Amino acid sequence: MGLLNRCSRTEAPTLKDRTYEHGAKVISGKPVTLGHGYSTLAWIPEEQGSWALPLCHERITSFETPITRAAFQLKQVCKHLEARPITLWDSEYGCAKFVNIISDIKADKLIRIRPNRCVWGQPKHEPNKMGRPKKHGHKMKLSEPTTWGVPIESIKINDPTWGTVEIQRWSQFHFYHSADHPMEIILIQRKGKGLSKKAAKPMWLAWIGEEELSLEELWKHYLRRFGIEHWNRFVKQRLHWTLPKLGTTDKGQRWSDLMPILTWQLWLAREIIEDNPLPWQKPQSSEKLTPGRVAQSFSGVLATIGTPTKSPKPRGKSPGWIPGKKRNKKPRYPIVKKTVTRQKKEKKEKKEAA
């Protein structure tokens, strides 16, 4: 399960390798912020609940993209797995480039696709036609229902939480630049009266895998992806991941390395923790303690096991700055803007005409 995180550092001109990242603030009319991007790969250990255990939590450098970093992390993790895992990805990774990069990794992929994407079907076989065979067939534009065609499977589910859910499946489709990697397209829609515009929006998924799963299983699997969203909020609000304003990228990465360690400590200690709710909180059973409840009661474990460190000793007063020593300002670094160079059509047409 992959997640793209952002650590905002808008007022840190001496911090190296800052890039433009998507954020809540608006800069120059766009919802971007300045800071560092982080790629997180986590394991969801339970079928229900809000636990997500991070396996990799690394900074995305200015010469990388979220896609290349996530593909590298997935390849490193799958080396140590005996079984073929099912990986879940957000719409940030729903493109041909990501599908091509992870094609040789032994893992099943369930990827969300943006609703304005287009996918192509397999071309019809024409044995008597000369020349190179076609790579693309019927074009399916996800935002236009008239181009969808007839699904190979369709079901309706009455879920106590989500209400009536309709799921449809199309097979043998691909992105334009990944024709060699077919995938199944899945549409999930909530039906019923009284739904908000956000709840009524369709959700598109792409399934690439060897295991044959039913539509209900695929939908239930992707719902578990939101566990990593809970972890993202938990490390920012409870573990204070973005609170320290560290001066170098190395210090920021070392601080970020503590977040997976702290999460795993809470997970391993959940069985010996006694719930200690606040007066306005409802008690939870020991089998269903959330990460926040475990962190809230973790002080009792620390008081019991103690600490191997010694108490600090006084060192006296600091001598202060040496008189006459030159003070040097910290170097300031420019903001790195990741761009994709595309050739303009007018220049291209002039070159072809010449």
CATH class of 2-124+132-234: alpha beta
Q: What pLDDT, in 10s, does the model give residues 293-310? A: 999 989 888 888 888 888
Q: What is the pTM of this model?
A: 0.85
pLDDT at 342: 57
Q: What is the DSSP secondary-structure string of 61-126?
A: -TT--HHHHHHHHHHHHHTT-SSPPEEEE-GGG-SHHHHHHTTTSS-EEEEEE-TT-EEEEPPPP-
Closest CA to 263 of 284, 299, 302, 294: 294
DSSP percent split of the chain into helix, strand, coil, nearest 5: 30, 25, 45
| Residues 266-285 pLDDT 10s | 999 988 888 888 899 898 88
Handedness of CA 125, 131, 135, 140 (dihedral sign): negative
* Contact (Cβ atoms closer than 8 angstroms) between residue 88 and residue 222: yes
**Low-confidence residues of the chain, pLDDT below 70?**
1, 24-29, 340-354
The amino acid at 74? L
Q: Which residue's entry shows tokens 């719930």?
A: 275
pLDDT, one tens digit per residue, over 110-140 is 999 999 999 999 988 777 777 778 889 899 9
The whole-chain average pLDDT of the chain stands at: 88
CB 36 within 8 A of CB 4: no
- Token pair recorded at residue 270: 């959940």
Domain ranges of the chain: 2-124+132-234
